[in-house]
């Protein structure tokens, strides 16, 4: 079995910054495992600006931010396998060595032995199933991030008449993006009395394009059997109960959900690491070490961050702590 000092699970902003930091702190033998076909993670589909003010002192788009790190990874000759999904991480009680099982098209299922593992898998979106909206399951309902991928990476516009449920940043960004591509965003409904995303995004993504933001409002019903035909919006009171008589039908062919992100921790939990119910991520020490010795976590897999710059900074810490851990062995 191939022995690696630090295996990094995920080649997004957290994984790349952790790998670079581990290298700077003395680890030679590092490997990044990335599920997608290239490094960069979610940044590759975040084509809007707003990244890197802290890290680089200038405002970059997501792909530009990612490219700067990819360049460094290549310069440092840090190896990475793309198209590679990690299936399992096991920790040997006595030796504290980790066995990482992964699969890709070239090697099939394979195993690596690692001194330390840095978890950098990021997060995923809360799906419709988590929301308990009654109705059929017609086509035309997407999470905002899925729509973002379709529009920005694959070149498909998911629909022409859009309602967005939830006012997270991705939903706000997509309201603008779809408007620019010729769709009509009829409303953004937010259950809470305040928007979920940043105020700057409410201003530059909704107000700039006269897209109504309906606060204290949610989707009560989804209409349509084959394809979504519309939604019924309803006002909610402070206790999150629908207020009778406030129902409003809005026709649409697409409903986007921007209702929160969940750290992606199946691997972490299966490894037996103690989890934090509040963040959805693993419990970590002040050195970002999980309850499994020598396994570190950083970025959105640990807790959902507002800014990628914060992810990068945290991941640098994790990389350094992981390197120190290996040297102490």
Residues 286-315 that bind another protein (CB under 8 A): 306-307
Q: Which is nearer to another protein, 48 or 72 (CB)?
A: 48
Can you tell me which of 89, 100, 120, 151 binds another protein, judged by CB under 8 A? Answer: 151
Closest distance between another protein and the C-beta of residue 9, in Å? 24
Part of the chain binding another protein (CB under 8 A), chosen from 49-57, 102-110, 216-224, 231-239: 49-57
Determine the size of the site formed for another protein (CB under 8 A).
Answer: 29
DSSP string covering 269-305, please? HHTT--B-TTTSSB---TTSB-SSTTEEE-GGGTS--
Q: Which is nearer to another protein, 197 or 319 (CB)?
A: 197
Phi, psi of 147 (to 5 degrees): -60, -40
Closest distance between another protein and the C-beta of residue 152, in Å? 6
Largest CA distance in the chain: 67
Q: Does 192 bind another protein (CB under 8 A)?
A: no
The two tokens of residue 199 are: 């105020």
Residues 67-96 that bind another protein (CB under 8 A): 67
Q: Does 180 bind another protein (CB under 8 A)?
A: yes
Q: Which is nearer to another protein, 200 or 227 (CB)?
A: 200
Q: Does 210 bind another protein (CB under 8 A)?
A: no
For the chain, helix, strand, coil in percent to 5 are 30, 30, 40
Q: Rg of the Cα trace of the chain? A: 21
Q: b/e map of 14-53 (b: 16 or more CB within 10 Å)? A: bbbbbbbbbbebebebbbbbbbbeebbbbbbbbbbebbbe
| Residue ranges in contact with another protein by CB under 8 A | 44, 47-50, 53, 59-64, 67, 151-155, 180-181, 198-200, 202-204, 208, 306-307
């Amino acid at each position: 079995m191939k022995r690696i000092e630090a295996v990094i699970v995920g080649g997004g902003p957290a994984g790349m910054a952790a790998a670079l930091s581990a290298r700077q702190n003395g680890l030679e033998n590092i490997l990044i495992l990335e599920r997608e076909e290239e490094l960069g993670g979610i940044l590759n589909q975040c084509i809007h600006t707003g990244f890197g003010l802290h890290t680089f002192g200038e405002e970059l788009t997501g792909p530009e931010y990612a490219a700067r790190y990819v360049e460094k990874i290549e310069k440092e000759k840090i190896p990475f396998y793309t198209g590679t999904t990690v299936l399992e991480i096991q920790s040997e009680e006595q030796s504290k060595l980790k066995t990482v099982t992964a699969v890709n098209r070239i090697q099939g299922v394979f195993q690596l032995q690692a001194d330390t593992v840095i978890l950098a898998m990021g997060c995923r979106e809360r799906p419709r199933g988590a929301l308990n909206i009654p109705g059929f399951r017609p086509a035309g309902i997407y999470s905002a991030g899925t729509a973002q991928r379709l529009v920005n990476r694959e070149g498909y516009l998911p629909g022409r008449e859009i309602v967005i449920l939830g006012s997270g940043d991705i939903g706000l960004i997509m309201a603008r993006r779809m408007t620019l591509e010729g769709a009509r965003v009829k409303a953004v409904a937010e259950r809470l009395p305040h928007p979920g995303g940043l105020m700057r995004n409410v201003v530059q993504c909704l107000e700039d394009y006269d897209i109504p933001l309906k606060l204290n409002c949610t989707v009560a019903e989804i209409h349509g059997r084959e394809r979504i035909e519309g939604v019924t919006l309803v006002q909610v009171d402070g206790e999150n109960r629908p207020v009778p008589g406030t129902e409003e039908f809005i026709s649409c062919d697409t409903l986007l959900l921007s209702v929160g992100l969940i750290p992606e921790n199946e691997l972490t939990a299966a490894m037996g690491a103690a989890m934090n119910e509040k963040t959805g991520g693993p419990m970590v020490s002040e050195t970002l070490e999980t309850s499994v010795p020598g396994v570190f976590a950083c970025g959105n897999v640990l807790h959902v961050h507002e800014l990628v710059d914060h992810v990068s900074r945290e991941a640098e810490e994790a990389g350094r702590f992981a390197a120190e851990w290996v040297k102490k062995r």
